[in-house]
Amino acid sequence: MERNFAIIPAVDVLDGRAVRLEQGDYDRVAAAGGDPFELIARLAAARPPLVHVVALGAARDGGAPLGLARDAVVAAGPVPVQLGGGVRSVADAQRLVETGVARVVVGTAAFGPVPLSDFVAALGDRLAVAVDVAGGVVRTAGWLGSSGLTTAEALDRCTAAGVPAVVCTAIDRDGTLSGPDLELLREARGRFGGSLLAAGGIRDSADVEAVRSAGADGAVVGRALLDGSLELPAAR
């Protein structure tokens, strides 16, 4: 994937709807975007480098969301889809690639019993690892479980395994429009040399510039796009 900074739109899907949760709480829907595939198509019309899709139910419960993945790929058209949620094995990740997903985001399984290097070997540049942080600890299972790893420990594992990309989310900022966690991003940049995507709390163009200055290669943005406080660059 290119290293030029980019704004990447995010579509989170729960029970067939596009939603934005506050701080990952399944009972706190901060914004609703209606039909997820209509939203994906609308966002893809601006020709971002990726559309980031998360299957929230699968992230919580496990099980590769193959149907959602296929429909998301169709809706995005020529724009590559980066999709996460439900991956618990290398086989799950490979099945998602077979649906046409350009990059699979692995969270829970990245810090479980399967060696992270196995995912790297199987997926190469099609892999990104979700480092979702709350209270200095990386969360798993739809952010309801704990990996038992600090941010530093998780990032060091990613570096050691040769992970090409990380999506680093500040859980307590996610869906709140309260601004990004720049300290977290600086820590991540200091420990991880691959592509670093920042998520959580990004409100506007000033936040995007702050994230860039903190060392991120891109910003994954959800609620700000739904609310209109940030717009994707026009398609060229």
**So which residues are the catalytic ones?**
12, 132
Q: Which residues lie across from 196 on neighbouring strands?
A: 166
Residue linked to tokens 């480098």: 49
| Structure token digits, residue 115 | 């060696």
- CA distance readout (Å), 39 to 13, 140, 201: 11, 26, 20
> Rounded to whole angstroms, how far apart are CA atoms 119 and 102?
15
Kindly list the distances between the CA atom of residue 51 and the CA atoms of 100, 112, 118, 151, in Å, as whole numbers in the listed order: 13, 26, 25, 25
Hey, what are 40's tokens?
Answer: 């994906």
- Residue 182 backbone dihedrals phi, psi, to 5 degrees: -70, -30
